[in-house]
Amino acid sequence: MTAVEQVEQSSSTPVRRGPAVPGRDVFDRARAEAAVRELLLACGEDPDRAGLLETPARVARAYREMFDGLYTDPDEVLSTTFDEGHDELVLVKDIPTYSTCEHHLVSFHGVAHVGYIPGENGRVTGLSKLARVVDLYAKRPQVQERLTGQVADALVRRLEPRGVIVVMEAQHLCMAMRGIRKPGSSTTTSAVRGLFKTSAASRAEALQLIRSR
Ligand SMILES: Nc1nc2c(ncn2[C@@H]2O[C@H](COP(=O)(O)OP(=O)(O)OP(=O)(O)O)[C@@H](O)[C@H]2O)c(=O)[nH]1
Ligand SMILES: [Zn+2]
């Protein structure tokens, strides 16, 4: 039995346990709609007033889209590879990225920079695939550090490169619109693997290219 199939029967509604299985769409639209309706009621709103009638369905659709990366296997995206014999840095900068903070379920967003040096196999992937991998890991309940590391690890798994560097700069709405309320503050995270970890010179070169405008 998979994690998703492990279902606990509570008084009336089944509760799913464990992570979604990539490649399998387990999104429960009816349940999401009921939850949004319940949240509106809990906030003291009237979900039956005209302006809110369609809101549960809209929000359910939005969450299905925002969490698309739970149901799609990011490794599949990296199955398109070419043997180019290229053995120097490939860097895609400024990939616009929207993710959802798993603590508050509000957006954190910014840009991701993804670079790698192909391995002895000379294997590269399509440039768009780098952005697709970022997107799929972003479209999950996330924290920025994990997102950054997951993208790096996916590249290590699929390309077996000599090194990978992923840098992400993002603003967290949970720090801007509520709580500490510091709009404009930004968070930078990095994940380095292989050569970028062992060689300060390679790391410095990549970081300088990432910074240059
Ligand atoms: N490290 C890390 N922290 C995050 C990220 N997104 C949100 N957080 C933080 O997660 C923490 C959750 O803290 P809690 O004390 O459990 O929640 P809270 O009472 O809502 O915290 P405040 O935001 O300080 O009001 C907060 O400090 C957030 O800023 C992230 O991507 N990475
Ligand atoms: Zn948050």
pLDDT exceeds 90 at position 190: yes
Is 43 annotated as a binding-site member? no
- Rounded to whole angstroms, the Cα distance separating 35 from 18 reads 19
CA of 18 to the centre of ligand 2 (A): 21
Q: Are 22 and 2 in contact (CB under 8 A)?
A: no
The two beta strands, 187-194 and 81-83, are unpaired
Amino acid (one-letter) located at 34: A
Is the pLDDT at 7 greater than 80, yes or no? no
Say yes or no: CB of residue 172 within 6 Å of ligand 1: yes
Question: What rounded mean pLDDT belongs to the chain?
Answer: 92
Task: Answer yes or no: are the C-beta atoms of 94 and 113 closer than 8 Å.
Answer: yes
How much is the average pLDDT of 81-105? Answer: 95
Query: Which ligand 1 atom is nearest residue 179's CA?
Result: 25
Judging by DSSP bridges, how do beta strands 163-172 and 141-142 pair with one another? Answer: unpaired
Bigger pLDDT: 19 vs 48: 48
ipTM of the complex: 0.94
State how far the Cα of 184 lies from the Cα of 175, in Å rounded to an integer. Answer: 9
Q: Whose CA is nearest to atom 31 of ligand 1?
A: 143
Ligand 1 in reach of 182 Cβ (< 6 A): no
Ligand nearest to the CA of 178: 1
d(CA 63, CA 130): 23
Q: Which residues contact 144 (CB under 8 A, 6 or more apart)?
A: 99, 108, 168, 170, 172, 187, 189
CA distance 169 to 104: 19
Least confident of 4-13, 27-36, 45-54, 170-179: 4-13
Contact 158, 125 (CB under 8 A): yes
Catalytic residues: 101-104, 144, 172, 174
Query: Helix, strand, or coil here: 63?
Result: helix
User: How far apart are the C-alpha atoms of 185 and 35, rounded to whole Å?
Assistant: 32
User: Ligand 1 pocket: which of 103, 137, 189 to mutate (most atoms <8 Å of CB)?
Assistant: 103
- Is 104 annotated among the ligand-binding residues? yes
Is the CB of 177 within 6 Å of ligand 1? no
Closest C-alpha residue for ligand 1 atom 9: 103
Please give the domain boundaries of the chain with CATH numbers for all domains.
7-70 (1.10.286.10), 80-211 (3.30.1130.10)
Reported as a pLDDT band with limits 50, 70 and 90, residue 21 is: confident
CA 200 to mean position of chain CA atoms: 28
Determine the distance separating the centroid of ligand 2 and the alpha carbon of 139, expressed in angstroms: 15
